[in-house]
Structure 1
Amino acid sequence: MRVGAHTSIAGGAYNAVDEQVEYGGNCGQIFSHSPQVWQDPNIDDDEAEQFRDRTDEHGVGPWVIHSSYLVNLCTPKDDLREKSIDSMQKEVDAADKLGVEYVNVHLGAHTGAGVDQGLDNAASALDELDIPDGVTVLVESDAGSGTKLGGEFEHLAEVLSRSGQDLEVCLDTAHMFAAGYDLSTPGGVEDTVATFDDVVGLDKLACIHLNDSKHECGTNKDEHAHLGEGKIGEDGMRAILTHEDLTDVPFVLETPTEDGKGFAWNVERARELGGV
């Protein structure tokens, strides 16, 4: 099983690898900079080399860079669109420098432009990127609140279809649950996986953000819980982790640090529920 957590590059990108090893993880995710501001990655050559070397030494991977929260690919606003494209270009370049396989991005919100136009905007924005060989952009599923797109599998399929890039998908279990895909039972997981395969295709699934949910299915509320302790629960999480079509997909945790439990607890919990 490939399971790991979102770790910090504070003090040097290579520290994220050491932190991952402390948690018992063997894959993971990072931000290349603060995700709440428009900021360029600032990773020098030595830092990148140490990240690559430590990744190889500890057998950690794949890695994902999560893009800035400010990126909005669906926006009809020209200035925000250009900032989003520029930010994404810098992320894929940073991924190439670090030897990171994936850059993950939310589609964003159409803010009144409409679903179809928003999806067109996202696909055409992604088409502006010069993505290095060895790096793949992942479009992430969303909780689906307001005018945000990505809550429906059809949104993901349309962007993949309309873009000329070779894109893949990251599914977030808490987001899917919030958007109305019931993952709380083995039957619900089976139905959801089958639906995703029919609409998007399991061959396009590159990563799963493994998070339980503090809120009920279909509420569009995105708040993560410890594995097995939220509304998805143990049965749902076990069904996800042991589903034959998902066992080769890397699981990346974005679970909270609260109640005396953090990433190490959730990494171990994932392995227990997965029967590893």
Structure 2
Amino acid sequence: MPNLIIFIISVFFLQCKGEDNSDQESAEAKRIRQDLLIEKYVGNCAEKFSYRYQMSEWQHCLDEGLKEDSTVAYLWQQKAMPYFKARKYEVGMKYLDKAVLYNERSWLSYRAFIKCVFAKTYREAIKDFEKCIQNEGNTYVMDHTYQFHIALCNLQLNEFEKAETIFKKDIEEQEQEWGEAHYIDLFYYGISKYEQGKWEEAIFEFDKSLKQYTQFSDAKYYKAICLGRLNRTEEFKSLMIEAKTDKNEGYSINEDNSIYETYPYQIIW
């Protein structure tokens, strides 16, 4: 009798193991099938058109792919993306939400970024970024950390002290890992101090940013204002002229997406 029980348990275990392998094979088969759909409906269809002036053709290709499999997250993201660049945020977001639904790991941080820089729904962006940090740690999206983007959202919500605290910690971690922080991070850290009237401290951060990007017109502009608030009038006038010259020559915030959106505190002359 004990041998029979052992036999039955063994058979049950092998069946379960076989089912697990089958599931893994099905997942791999699904991935391959979906990759082929992406190649067919994005690479060999949508990308033959320009969404700038052939939006209907672009969207038609993706819709045909979604008819075959509505769970392909990348097809939903590709539907969303051109609407954000056209500043049709609500239209794009309903598609991006689908991408997150079907592949949160790949697209949650992207949605958080879109909410922060494009749609400007800052509290919603913070929620997404906090979930990203919970799932992955403080990693990167669009060349900047999740904490950087949370701090940027706080700047835009006039939570200046909170933004300063987050920038400070994030920059210290970058400096420990890489030796220096990105000049954009330093610029916005300076802005968080500028907004609190910490003129000397703000100048210190703007100078660190300008050390990396010497013609950064926006950093020069806000540094000039700080100098003016400190009654350093001649320095203010001279630097403001420099800032305008650099801006006219195209030296401003040069993030990849700055061609689509004006970034926070970016100066429009």
Higher relative contact order (Cα pairs below 8 Å, separated by 6+ residues): 1
TM-score, with length taken from structure 2: 0.26
* Bigger fraction of residues in strand: 1
TM-score, with length taken from structure 1: 0.26
